């Protein structure tokens, strides 16, 4: 860990505290950095925006992508005040940053009442055995749509 890493993580923790104190949402903050400069940041805004996806990492990813004019964060580092939940981790992987730095971990979050273990457990189950089971309908039409995508000449791969 170097001085810059500490500086960016302190900013993520500060954003978490500010958001918590303002009752924006839970105590989570995130900073995204490219070439030593913050290009996106966010705090949890779930309760203030009535948006269950407004986690700090998602807010920061949206901010960074808008700032950089791209849908991927190659060459970026993510600093987040806590280990990302499954949704945020998935979004981070889709964004493809170079590094992820965390302060707290999922056990620390669970101790404070933010327990995502049930999601991890659900993901290990077959689709039809999950609490919210997934039932397949109109699969042939979806497969056809994917075939059209594969054949599309002017698509932007990601």
Task: Tell me the helix, strand and coil percentages in the chain, rounded to 5.
Answer: 45, 15, 35
Say how far apart CA 26 and CA 56 lie, in whole Å.
9
DSSP 25: S
pLDDT, the chain, mean: 95
Percentage, residues of the chain above pLDDT 90? 88
Q: Which helix (H) or strand (E) holds 5?
A: helix 3-21
57 is catalytic: yes
What pLDDT score was predicted for residue 1? 67
Sheet arrangement for strand 37-43: 37-43, 29-34, 76-82, 99-104
End-to-end CA distance of the chain: 31
What pLDDT score was predicted for residue 79? 98
Q: Is the pLDDT of residue 3 over 70?
A: yes
Mean pLDDT across 29-33 = 98
Catalytic hit among 3, 57, 122, 148: 57
Task: With cut-offs at 50, 70 and 90, classify the pLDDT of residue 133.
Answer: confident
Mean pLDDT across 1-28 = 95
Q: Is the pLDDT of residue 134 over 70?
A: yes
Contact 98, 79 (CB under 8 A): no
Q: Is the pLDDT of residue 146 over 90?
A: yes
Summarize pLDDT for 17-27 with one digit per residue, the tens: 999 999 999 99
For every residue of 74-127, which 3-state class applies, written as one string?
A: CCEEEEEEECCCHHHHHHHHHHCCCEEEEEECHHHHHHCCCCCHHHHHHHCCCH
What pLDDT score was predicted for residue 158? 85
pTM of structure: 0.91
């Amino acid at each position: 860990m170097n001085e810059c890493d500490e500086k960016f993580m302190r900013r993520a923790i500060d954003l978490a505290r500010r958001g918590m104190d303002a009752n924006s949402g839970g105590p989570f903050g995130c900073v995204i950095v490219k070439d030593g400069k913050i290009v996106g940041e966010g705090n949890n805004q779930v309760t203030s925006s009535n948006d269950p996806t407004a986690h700090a990492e998602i807010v920061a990813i949206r901010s960074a992508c808008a700032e950089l004019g791209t849908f991927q964060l190659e060459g970026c580092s993510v600093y987040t005040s806590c280990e990302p939940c499954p949704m945020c981790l998935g979004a981070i992987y889709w964004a493809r940053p170079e590094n992820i730095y965390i302060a707290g971990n999922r056990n620390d979050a669970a101790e404070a009442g933010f327990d995502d273990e049930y999601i991890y457990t659900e993901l290990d189950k077959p689709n039809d055995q999950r609490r919210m089971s997934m039932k397949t309908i109109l699969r042939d039409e979806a497969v056809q749509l994917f075939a059209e995508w594969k054949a599309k000449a002017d698509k932007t791969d990601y």
